[in-house]
Amino acid sequence: MTTTLHLCIATGQNAANFIPLKQLAAHTIWILETPDMQKQQSAKALSTALKSALPEAPIRTLAFDDSTPQAMQAAALQLACDELDGKDVVFHATGGTKLMVLAIHQQLLNLAAGQGSYRLLYADTAHQTLSWMGDEPRQEPMADVLTLNEQLLLRGYRSSNDTRPAAIQQRASERAKVTRLMGEKSAQIKGFLGALNFHARQAADGKSLVREFDYLPNTHSPAGKLLELAQLQGLLSIDENYNQITFASAEVAEYFCGGWVEEYVFLKFTGTLAPAQYTLGAQITHSVSKTSNEIDGIAVAHNRALIIECKAKKQDQAQDAIYKLGQLVKQVGGLMARGLYVSARQVSDTDRARAREYGVDVLAGEELATLSDYLRQWKDNARA
């Protein structure tokens, strides 16, 4: 039985190579690497992800000179005559320049005239399809094969932690009712949330944990119910006679001045995204640049990534956070990824417009109540 050799070109968007190789359970893989891709170590990233997904498949990387049309023609001819003659070859024509693909395709056509065979495959990640060209052209759906870890590996990243620490999970679960109420009732309590955030920030910054408010909300109002529930959970105590709230600790104050937003996202991830793979608070490091980043949340479904940034910053601080998230979407997620900026505070129209340019969606203030709907829609759109 002849073993099929899968030939692909290393590219900055290696998911288009990796997905069909994993879907087809490729037995033998050769990766062509141009000088530019060698500098970016794209072939290395692809090879690392493939070794994780297909540990039994031999993988070989070959240098390919794409400096001029003549160099490409010569490299393609040498590849076809010296390396691939007589073999059964599938050429993955998704990476590389058009000239490079045409040069290789022209030479590989000669295989079918000899003892070998040749098929061309194109992966369309935007439409989630694999298209076969040859004597019997056909198209098939792209399978949902990309894991969260493979997404990171393909982009040259490794994660130092791939699960949310148990202590944080436990703490988030214990105060889940308070967190959900703040997120799901954010429209009704937005006025009081601003005052609560201000006083919690003061307490978290080392000032007194006992904070005097101008007024405390009516016990029957949504904000009043929030305080009552928080007191039952032991997060704070209330002295109505003096309009005072005492936070249980500086850590609790940090929670009320914005930490609850990340826990709200965690709860919604857990309840909405399954069976999609996700993690929160991931520390990632790039294998080439050695730069490290923390990602508040990342999910992968149907071969596409969603990267989340959670903030409780003031409106005038949102711009930098949105820009940083846009860069992470490009560097970690690739062309098909989306970003989601989640904020307890409102975001200006200017920053929302800038976010759209970066491929980042925004849920801020009272929009937090729609997070579950957003995640479901993202999953559905990823499948399309």
162-218 confidence digits (pLDDT tens): 555 567 778 888 999 999 999 999 888 888 988 998 999 999 999 999 999 999 999
Share above pLDDT 90 across residues of the chain, in percent, rounded to a whole number:
66
Is 312 a residue whose pLDDT tops 70? no
Q: Is the CA virtual torsion 153, 156, 159, 160 positive or negative?
A: positive
- pLDDT of res. 381: 85
- pLDDT of res. 154: 93
Helix then strand then coil, in percent of the chain rounded to 5, is 50, 25, 30
Record the tokens describing residue 261, joined without a space.
């937003």
In angstroms, the CA 128 to CA 384 distance is: 7
What's the CATH code, domain 4-145?
3.40.50.10770
CB proximity list for 240: less than 8 A, separation 6 or greater:
216
> Do the beta carbons of residue 325 and residue 305 sit within 8 Å?
no
Peptide bond into 275 cis (omega under 30): yes
Place of tokens 């998230």: 325
Q: Where in the chain is the domain with CATH 1.10.10?
A: 167-255
293 three-state secondary structure? strand
Q: Which of 218, 194, 202, 154 is nearest to 19 (CA)?
A: 154
In angstroms, the CA 214 to CA 262 distance is: 28
- pLDDT of res. 26: 96
Q: What pLDDT, in 10s, does the model give residues 118-149?
A: 999 999 998 999 999 987 899 999 999 999 99
As a dihedral over the C-alpha atoms of residue 42, residue 47, residue 53, residue 55, rounded to 10 degrees, the angle is -170
Q: For 52, list phi and psi in degrees, rounded to 5.
A: -70, -40
> Do the beta carbons of residue 347 and residue 318 sit within 8 Å?
yes
CB proximity list for 54: less than 8 A, separation 6 or greater:
21, 22, 25, 26, 29
Q: Where in the chain is the domain with CATH 3.40.1350.10?
A: 258-383
The correct CATH number of 167-255 out of 2.60.40, 3.30.420, 1.10.10, 3.40.50 is 1.10.10
- pLDDT of res. 101: 96
Q: Where in the chain is the domain with CATH 3.40.50.10770?
A: 4-145
> Do the beta carbons of residue 91 and residue 61 sit within 8 Å?
no
The CB density around residue 237, as the number of other CB atoms within 10 Å, is: 15
> Do the beta carbons of residue 125 and residue 335 sit within 8 Å?
yes
* Run of H or E residues at 204: helix 186-204
In angstroms, the CA 64 to CA 317 distance is: 46
Q: What pLDDT, in 10s, does the model give residues 248-290?
A: 999 999 999 888 998 898 888 887 877 678 887 888 998 888 8
In angstroms, the CA 55 to CA 377 distance is: 34
Q: What pLDDT, in 10s, does the model give residues 40-74?
A: 999 999 999 999 999 999 999 999 999 999 999 99
pTM to 2 decimals? Answer: 0.88
Record the tokens describing residue 20, joined without a space.
């069909």
In angstroms, the CA 125 to CA 190 distance is: 41
Architecture of domain 258-383: 3-Layer(aba) Sandwich (3.40)
